[in-house]
Amino acid sequence: MRNKKWLTVLTVCVLMLGVLSGCGGNNKANGGEGSNSGPVKLTMWGAVPPENGPQEVVDTWNTAHPDIQVEYVRFVNDDDGNLKLDTALSTGQNVDLYVNYTLTNLDKRVKGNIALDLSGYTDYNIDEKMGADAASWKVDDKYYGMPTKKNSFFFALNKEALDKAGLAIPTAWTWDEAREYAVKLKAEGFKYGLVQHTASLVDPLDSVLVKDGYVKADGTSNMDDPLVTQWLETLNGMMKDDLTTPPLGEQLTSKMPVENMFLGGESAMINIGEWLIRSSNNTTEFPRDFQIAFAPVPRLTGNEADFVKSGGLGDFISINSKSKNKDAAWEFLKWYADGGMLPMAAGGRLPSSNAVDQQTAIDHLLGDHADSYDKESLEFVLYNDKTPTFVRGIAQEIVDMRAQEYEKYFLGNQTAAETVQNMVKRHNDFLKLQGK
């Protein structure tokens, strides 16, 4: 009798499973038919909202190529979004192309064998087209995708305030000079001299550590580089003594809208990147009556020759190694990089391929708002500043633990020396764990 009960339970389970897997099977069959007859269908995953360019890009391509139809799917570039993409990739859902926004993410995907090694395609020389900066995206000396966008990080300045304070637009400067600028500009009637976007806030640290090494020759952490302490103390002074920049705790927990503060005239300078242009071109939402000038990010090191700045290339597009339409995806990718992506320039995404003329790119970037920018300094920051660049490639764990420690410092919970000590300790622990 007992056995029979179990038999019933089992039958029910099996029946349900049958029904469920039946559904799955049907879907697969449909997908297969679609790719056999009619045009090739590609799916591209990216994090830019479709209305900010990608839809126009895809539409242009689809009109010109009836045989290869591309569909754009947006994922949000945060933990959840990347997890969604990774899950889709590793469970074999239809993702043909996808955009990696950080080296850290790319690295995971290469290890998971879901990024196609592009060295099989010989009709496009990535190094030649994209320049020397492309090499920082190589994993094990191979391209598992193609960088398509120029990253630019800069200080945007309120030109009117600069003129009033009698300050020149810097073309190379140190954090000490930037700190003075902030004081003088604040005196022109601003709430803050400088606000910083959280994405570029920590760049000075990476700049130092990329140059001097994250890890010392003996394999231990190099987070106790004296310039790290200098960064901590400079910013802390600006937050607490000069009151020229918002305290970090306040900025983080109130999710301070720094772009709005700069464009709204509350702050005279902002440490940000090319995505500022998306907001600053939107004069209906962010009306402003001043020109924006641009300066390269300041350096911590006294010696200009030792400086590397955050930048390089971004929007690294990979082809799914399990894609059924790799060649079609490759065709699209080449077209996208060589100017197909131009509609996205209005959102700040400048093509990195030298197939795209600099002037065309800037025209797309500024649109009809060119008058509201100081063009000379913009061109300098985007193209003419020859400071070597880097792309941050350290593990998320290190980024996070570093942030936790400097947050504690800026909140006054620990001294700069303790902060550095804790960073070193936690970094060493992490290194040990990885080494095992």
Residues of this chain that bind another protein (CB under 8 A): 1, 4-5, 8-9, 12-13, 16-17, 79-80, 83, 86, 90, 108-109, 111-114, 247-250, 252-255, 395-397, 400, 403-405, 407-408, 411-413, 433
Q: At what angle do helices 226-240 and 175-186 cross, to 10 degrees?
A: 0
8 Å CB contact between 232 and 416: yes
Pairing of strands 192-196, 267-273: parallel
Q: Which is nearer to another protein, 58 or 420 (CB)?
A: 420
Q: Which is nearer to another protein, 288 or 425 (CB)?
A: 425
Min dist. Cβ of residue 108 to another protein (A): 5
Q: Which is nearer to another protein, 25 or 412 (CB)?
A: 412
Is 88 strand, coil or helix?
Answer: helix
Min dist. Cβ of residue 236 to another protein (A): 14
Q: Which is nearer to another protein, 21 or 384 (CB)?
A: 21
Residues near 353 by beta carbon (within 8 Å), at least 6 away in sequence: 129, 130, 148, 337, 338, 339
Min dist. Cβ of residue 78 to another protein (A): 9
- According to DSSP, the residues that pair with 97 across neighbouring strands are 44, 319
Q: Which is nearer to another protein, 106 or 162 (CB)?
A: 106
Q: Which is nearer to another protein, 164 or 322 (CB)?
A: 322
Q: Which is nearer to another protein, 114 or 366 (CB)?
A: 114
Min dist. Cβ of residue 249 to another protein (A): 4
Q: Cα–Cα distance between 202 and 18 in angstroms, integer?
A: 53
Helix (H), strand (E), coil (C) string for 248-275? HHHHHHCCCCHHHHHHCCCEEEEEEECC
Tokens of 374: 């100081």
Q: Which is nearer to another protein, 98 or 330 (CB)?
A: 98
Q: Which is nearer to another protein, 79 or 218 (CB)?
A: 79
Min dist. Cβ of residue 92 to another protein (A): 13
Closest listed residue to residue 299, CA positions, set 367, 203, 373, 420: 203
Tokens of 248: 């970090």
Min dist. Cβ of residue 71 to another protein (A): 24
Closest listed residue to residue 319, CA positions, set 106, 136, 128: 106
Which class for 431: exposed (0-12), middle (13-18), buried (19 or more C-beta within 10 A)? middle
Min dist. Cβ of residue 195 to another protein (A): 14
Between the alpha carbon of residue 333 and those of residues 319, 329, 354, the distances in Å are 9, 6, 15
Min dist. Cβ of residue 255 to another protein (A): 7
Q: At what angle do helices 396-410 and 416-435 cross, to 10 degrees?
A: 160
Q: Which is nearer to another protein, 233 or 250 (CB)?
A: 250
Between the alpha carbon of residue 279 and those of residues 49, 55, 102, 235, 392, the distances in Å are 14, 19, 23, 26, 25
Min dist. Cβ of residue 189 to another protein (A): 18
Min dist. Cβ of residue 361 to another protein (A): 35
Terminal C-alpha separation, the chain: 54
